[in-house]
Chains A and B, each alone.
Chain A
Amino acid sequence: MSAHIHPVASLLAAIARGISGVQVQWAGCEPDERQRIYFANHTSHLDFVVLWSALPSEIRARTRPIAAKDYWHETPLRRYLAENVFRAVLLERGSLARTKNPEETHFVGRHLIEDMASALGEKNSLILFPEGTRGSGEKIGPFRSGLYHVALRRPDVELVPAYLENLNRILPKGEFLPVPMLSLLTFGKPIQVAPDEDKDLFLERAREAVSSLRRIGPA
């Protein structure tokens, strides 16, 4: 995949930055070209674009979002934005939960992880919202297991937690017109799966890594 940014993506990133007045703080790491998975809390449609726009452009060109296929395939516009503009990696949300027997679960699971791993490839980074859906912003929901599996599959990739603050007030779920308040994005210290670490323990630790970056009490 060539490192090239779609002009519409750059435009939307500029608009999102303007609307969200976002201030970026690299609190636990510095911007780096190495392969990473940025994982963050999810409260707004602006989340991905704001996080993505906060990366330096050479990194941005190689950073792709993970998104839900069911949602982003619903209308032609969404499909165009996801596939052509942002080169999203679209996954079947909840397909694991729908499986009927252990073999099928195993098969579907492998498939999802392979999709993410191949999207990472040699050079790419990913942006992932492990809650799987947008929350109200009051607290972070439980993380889904994809982060854990892809981390095991690609131990060379850094896992960088990030917290997006106040975007739930700028463009909350269910609204399509934004209110231009100010927001804050904090990148934390990368985490790793510890040897023999249990899946649920790791996911809880990852969630903790994100929520510890929160700077302001619930508004």
Chain B
Amino acid sequence: MLEAFRDPKLVWLFGGVLCLLAISSVVGSILRSRQKPGVSRTTIDNLNARIRAWWKMCAIFAASILVGRIGSLILFGVISFLAMREYMTLVPTRRGDHRTLFWSFFVIMPLQYYLIGIQWYGLFAIMIPVLACIFIPPSIAMAGDTEHFLERASKIQFGIMVCVYSLSHAPALLLLKIPGFEGHDARLLLYLVIVDQMSDVLQYVWGKLIGKHKIAWRVSPNKTWEGFVGGVVSATALGTALWWATPFTPLQSAGMSLMICILGFNGGLVMSAIKRDIGIKDFGLLIEGHGGILDRIDSLCFAAPIFFHLVRYYFVP
């Protein structure tokens, strides 16, 4: 507990995040006070609401890292739970899926995080893609409802892969024993989260400022080439500048950041496509007051596993 404070580089990382938040709060309130009355305030109110949410998220994240490995595990376990809850609420399931869903929430998900806790890498890596994915279809079949059978099985498999398996690779970074980097693994997790989330934010900002040409307007009208390139380039630059907190050289850090940004973009794109497919408008009501966790972490879900394996392949002997 509080060991993290003894790592000056971790403190610098957090300090940087706090400065960034403070600056954005100031900018947010200036924009607000300059706004002429009568002009629509929604964009600026929305921006300020986002900044407030970021303060809260950072506080929770910092607290969990200070508690140590178990804190990060619990935090990501809870995020997985909330994300899968949103996903399963949105995806039409049938009565026959009930028990499979129960298993997914209360057995498979906790087990996945438990395996990280006891550092059993071998089982952690195959638990969901092999064991759970083989378990799910027969368990649905047992309920005897064959309507849309393949679709239902795939939807649950996909949900648990994204919300639980993929995301669990973020706290699993704490398992990696990188020579010369012992005890600093929290920095790696923070690096991933900072680059990934800043890439989301910067893509949004660049898109709002100069966005014109839509990437896939059917899927997401907000994603533009300008936003994508601007966001990826600036977030990669930021990630490169953070090389000192990681086991990477500046060039390696640039490569890792670029990879995180591009995969993160793909995560957002896939989640938008799913929302279009289900017609989220109606179901969005159900998750209104719950913050849309899935929207926040979709990019992380796609970036975390690849980042984990790249680090593991190149930096863990």
Query: Which residues of A come within 8 Å of B, CB atoms?
Result: 21, 23, 136, 165-166, 169, 172, 175, 177-184, 215-217, 219
Contacts of B288 in A (CB 8 A): 23
Contacts of A215 in B (CB 8 A): 282, 285
Besides A180-B81, A182-B85, 20 more A-B contacts (Cβ < 8 Å) are A23-B286, A23-B288, A23-B289, A165-B286, A166-B89, A169-B93, A172-B98, A175-B98, A177-B99, A179-B88, A179-B98, A180-B85, A180-B105, A181-B88, A182-B86, A184-B285, A216-B283, A217-B282, A219-B92, A219-B93
* Chain B nearest CB, measured from A185 CB (Å): 11
Q: Which of A136, A169, A182, A219 contacts B290 (CB 8 A)?
A: A182
The number of A-B residue pairs with CB atoms under 8 Å apart is: 50
Contacts of A23 in B (CB 8 A): 285-286, 288-290
* Chain B nearest CB, measured from A48 CB (Å): 20
* Docked-complex contact B98 and A182, CB < 8 angstroms: no
Size category of the binding interface on chain B: 20 to 34
* Interface membership of chain B positions 156-174, coded 1 if the CB is closer than 8 angstroms to chain A and 0 otherwise: 0000000000000000000
Contacts of A183 in B (CB 8 A): 286
25 CB contacts below 8 A, A to B, read A21-B85, A21-B290, A23-B286, A136-B95, A165-B286, A166-B89, A169-B93, A175-B98, A175-B99, A177-B99, A177-B102, A177-B106, A178-B102, A179-B101, A179-B105, A180-B81, A180-B105, A182-B89, A182-B287, A182-B290, A183-B286, A184-B285, A217-B282, A219-B92, A219-B93
Q: Which of A175, A180, A216 contacts B282 (CB 8 A)?
A: A216
Contacts of A182 in B (CB 8 A): 85-86, 89, 286-287, 290
Interface of B is mostly: helix
B window 13-47: CB within 8 A of A: none
* Cα distance, A184 to B290, chains bound together (Å): 12
Query: Which residues of B come within 8 Å of A, CB atoms?
Result: 81, 85-86, 88-89, 92-93, 95, 98-99, 101-102, 105-106, 282-283, 285-290
* Cα distance, A28 to B131, chains bound together (Å): 49
* Chain B nearest CB, measured from A81 CB (Å): 22
Question: Chain A residue with minimal CB distance to B101?
Answer: A179
* Cα distance, A180 to B83, chains bound together (Å): 11
Contacts of B99 in A (CB 8 A): 175, 177
